[in-house]
A and B are shown apart, each in its own frame.
Chain A
Amino acid sequence: MSGFHVTRSSTLTLVSSIGAVALAAVLASGALWASNDTLRLATDVFLYVALACLWNFLAGYAGLVSVGQQAYVGLGGYVLFALAAKANMPVLYTIPLLGIVAALLSVPSAKLLFRLRGAYFTIGSWVLAEVFRLTAILIVPLGGGSGMSLPVRVAQTLGRTPHDRFVMTYLIALALLLAILVMIFLVLRSRIGLALTAIRDNEVAARSNGVNVDRIKLVVYVAAASATAMVGGLIFLQRLRISPDAGFSVNDWTALIIFMVVIGGIGTFEGPILGALIYVFLRETLATLGPVYLIILGAVAIAVMLVEPRGIWGFVRSRWGVQLLPLGFFVGKSPQR
């Protein structure tokens, strides 16, 4: 009989799991009491956190450093506008469809991009996103190069007053974020999570230990694309207007997201959430400074990379061995019998 046993949860993971559920409940109740400005800011935060977590899932775990995720943000926005404004589909029903459309499109994209390795994949993903943007410019019914607005009648299906609409988008964004976080959590806790963490640390060794790296990367790429498109749909549902440049913006949907993930801690579950919160905090406090604000963001990113390339959460985790969620394994000595 072995003198050791394995546990996956600890007092800390139990406390933080209960805390996470409580926080989700508090956030949901926000629909009842928060002001329009708060709701709009919180919706922004939810969508940024979702994008950051998805990019981290892709780059931090599967090693797919894509700078082309704006392809799926814009795709989600455009498909939502097309379905809701042109096909008169109820807005709520379009959101799962965005995920399906993006998943279907991401498979041939992956077949193409996965021929490229490392930096070449990264550049290729950007080129692909540009192809998406140029395609959007060519679609005249959706406004071509100048884009289109969501008709008022479509927006009103979400709620008659602006407040009702804010509440509705807030709740949908929260639900989507929670679904994405739960999905990533469950994947990371499963066998696939072990494989992803192994790929993150050493891809060659992962292959040598029986991990089918290519298949797992494909699964992650498709899942991330699908969820990113749903987030993209919501972003432009909130903005009520889309154009090729806004939808497929490499700055807004990739560069900023990478900033969040890198300062928060790439390759950790908690890091991107932290990074997105830090970003929104900086934006809200410094936005009045104009261009200086962007210089400060850049300086923060450089400072974090120089001092602690693993980001804030990466530092916390390795320094104190903190694991908030029951994702790891802990081997303890069994009590003497």
Chain B
Amino acid sequence: MTIALSLRNVSKSFGAIRIADGIDLDISENEAVGILGPNGAGKTTILGLVTGTLSLDAGAVEFRGRDITALRPEQRCRLGIARAYQVPQPFGDMTVFENLMVAACFGAGKSIAESQAGCLEILEDCGLADLANVHAGRLTLLNRKRLELARALATKPKILLLDEIAGGLTQHECDELVALIRRVHGTGVTIVWIEHVLHALMSVVGRALVLYQGKFIADGAPADVIREPKVAEIYMGIDTDA
């Protein structure tokens, strides 16, 4: 199987805090991977290193066998790396539809005419079609999260990085979201998903990683990973010695 994304001996610190300490990771094409870890472990930072909004201290990032460490965020996006931020980053004074058009025109590199139909389709998929003309700054938090995902999809990604997009959703909304991400995954997109809502994550991903003190301390099938004593201890806060 071909490798979609690789981290090679990646290190990143903020002052004295080590977020990544010589991380090596390979994610295969069309894999769906969940990243777990306690708050502040640096999960979001890892996504920033992949999208290029943060720079590495050492190591390399490869995308489909190509070293992209020196590429800027917009270049990585155009190669097919899209990210839905944990704190939504809408273009507040543009409409929902225009938000998607930016992503389609620049992320996917299409003309205005070519982009429109695809953007409408994504809006309908994400349950935003009725809000297409609303300015993004006026959306509720839930709809901003939907927009964040919709806009990432409009860049026509090959790999989709999701950052806690299920937090705060009702059970029903969460199920819809899971169904949507499964559909996206079904079209061949690689998924990397950071999520605290475990049941949502577990129903999509086939592999789970646990980030702790700059290293992935567990890597495997989700059900096995969360049963590992070490993971239970640091992540779930269960004292296994007791």
Contact = CB atoms under 8 A, between A and B. Distances in A.
B207 interface: no
Nearest to B132: A331
Interface stretch (B7-15, B105-113, B221-229): B105-113
B120 A209 contact: no
Given A194-B102, A207-B73, A208-B53, A201 B116 contact: no
B94 interface: yes
A35 interface: no
Interface size band for A: 20 to 34
A163 interface: no
Interface in B66-99: 72-74, 77-78, 83, 85, 89-95, 97-99
Contacts of A213: 74
Contacts of B85: 205, 208
Given A6-B97, A202-B89, A205-B90, A191 B111 contact: yes
A210 B74 contact: yes
Given A204-B89, A209-B102, A267-B93, A318 B135 contact: yes
B101 A329 contact: yes
Given A191-B111, A204-B53, A331-B120, A210 B94 contact: no
Given A201-B91, A202-B90, A209-B151, A195 B97 contact: no
> Which of A204, A212, A331 gathers most chain B CB within 10 Å?
A331
Contacts of B111: 191
Contacts, number: 110
B51 interface: yes
A211 B74 CA distance: 6
B139 interface: no
B120 A207 contact: no
Interface in A163-197: 190-191, 194-195, 197
Contacts of A190: 112
Nearest to A199: B91
A194 B93 contact: no
A318 B72 CA distance: 34
Interface string B109-132: 101100011001101100001001
A191 B108 CA distance: 12
Interface of B: 51, 53, 72-74, 77-78, 83, 85, 89-95, 97-99, 101-103, 105-109, 111-112, 116-117, 120-121, 123-124, 129, 132-133, 135, 151, 155
28 contacts: A2-B120, A6-B120, A190-B112, A191-B105, A197-B98, A198-B91, A198-B99, A201-B91, A201-B92, A202-B91, A204-B53, A205-B91, A206-B102, A207-B53, A208-B89, A209-B106, A209-B155, A210-B77, A210-B106, A210-B109, A211-B102, A211-B106, A213-B74, A318-B135, A329-B98, A329-B101, A329-B116, A331-B97
